[in-house]
Amino acid sequence: MTGRPRAGQACASPPRMPRTTRYTEGPHLLVRGDCVRALRRMEADSVDVVVTSPPYNIGLKYRTYRDRLAEEGYLDWMVEVAREVRRVMRPDGSFFLNVAGSSAQPWLPFELMVRLRELFVLQNHISWVKSISVGTDTHGHFKPVNSPRYLNRNHEHLFHLTRTGNVGLSRLDIGVPYMDKSNIARRGHRQDRRCRGDTWFIPYETVQGKAQKFHHPGTFPVLLPQMCIRLHGKSAPVVLDPFMGTGTTLVAAVREGGQGIGIDLDTIYVNVARQRVRQAMQVEAEGTTAASDRNI
C-alpha cells in the first residue's frame, strides 16, 4: 500500500513521508515507501505485468493509514498512481487492477474506470468470484452483509487495462478442459483446453484468524495474480505491485519464474513480504511447489 492524504486534504499536499528503503531478495525488489515517489524513480517501459489491489476507500482498517478520503481526492490520487504505472509499463504490458465498491458506494470502481480512460484502454473486465452457489451447494467464502437492503457481495472487479487494447494474451495457459470432448475436434482445437472466460472462481483459503492473513484487511489469494501473470503470457516477466501489502503478487511472480517489484508504506507488511518471498524462492529451488499451484 502507499501513503496518501488524510481525509479532506488535497493530493497535491501529502503529509510528510518516511524515507524510502529498498530491499532485495534474490532478483526481487521490495520498497518501503510512498508508491508514487517510488514509481517516479523507476525506468520507463520496464515492467511487463502490473497486478495490484489498492485501498478501496471504503473504511477498511489498515495499520498506518486511513482508508477513507473525500471521493474526488481518492480518485485524483488513483489517477496519479495510474499515470506512473502507465509510464513504467511496457507498450505491450498488462495492468490488472483489483478494486471493489461497497453496498454504500457501488459506483466507485466504475467512476475510477471512467477517470482512467485518459490513460488506458479497458481490454477485459473480469469478475473475481469469491463465493458461488450452484443448486444447493455453496463454494468459497464471503463476508455477510447485515442489511435487508443489500445482497451479500460475493465478487470483486478485476480490470485488465492496456495502453492500446491490442495486447495478445495466452488464453489457453489459464484455460479449462472441455466438458464435451467432441468439441475439441469440432472446433478445430489441438488440445483439451478452452478459454476460461471473464468469470474466475478463486476462493480464499480457509483461515482461522487474522494472523493467518498477516493482520492485513485486503489480501487476495496467490492464485489470482498467478493467473494474471500467466494470462499475459510473457516468459520471465517483470511483475510490479505498487500496493504490495504482504507480498502475495511477488509470491506469484516467484512461482511463475518472474522478477517481482513490490512497494508498500508499512514496515511490518514489507517485512512479512520479504519473508514470504524468501520462503517461495526456497520452495521453488527445492521443486516442492504443490501441483495445484502449478496447474491452473
In a domain, 260, yes or no: yes
Q: Specify the CATH number for the domain of residue 109.
A: 3.40.50.150
Reported pTM: 0.87
Write out pLDDT tens, residues 16-40.
Answer: 556 899 999 999 999 999 999 999 9
Per residue in 218-237, pLDDT (tens digit) is 689 999 999 999 999 999 99
pLDDT band at 185 (very low <50, low <70, confident <90, very high): confident
Cβ 17 vs Cβ 64: under 8 Å: no
> Is residue 255 included in any domain, yes or no?
yes
20 within a domain of the structure (yes/no): no
Assess if residue 163 is contained within a domain: yes
Range of the domain at 109: 27-131+153-170+196-288
The answer to whether position 295 is within a domain reads: no
Residue 293 in any domain: the answer is no
- The 10s digit of each residue's pLDDT in 124-136 is 999 999 999 999 9
The confidence score (pLDDT) of residue 8 equals 38
Q: Mind listing the pLDDT tens digit for each residue in 98-114?
A: 999 888 889 999 999 99
Looking up cell 460475493 gives 154
Q: Which range among 38-52, 103-117, 130-144, 164-178 shows the weakest confidence by mean pLDDT?
A: 130-144
Asked if residue 12 has pLDDT above 90, the reply is: no
Say which range, 154-163, 265-274, 283-292, has the weakest mean pLDDT.
283-292
16 in any annotated domain: no
- Please give the tally of structural domains in the chain: 1
Residue 69 lies in a domain: yes
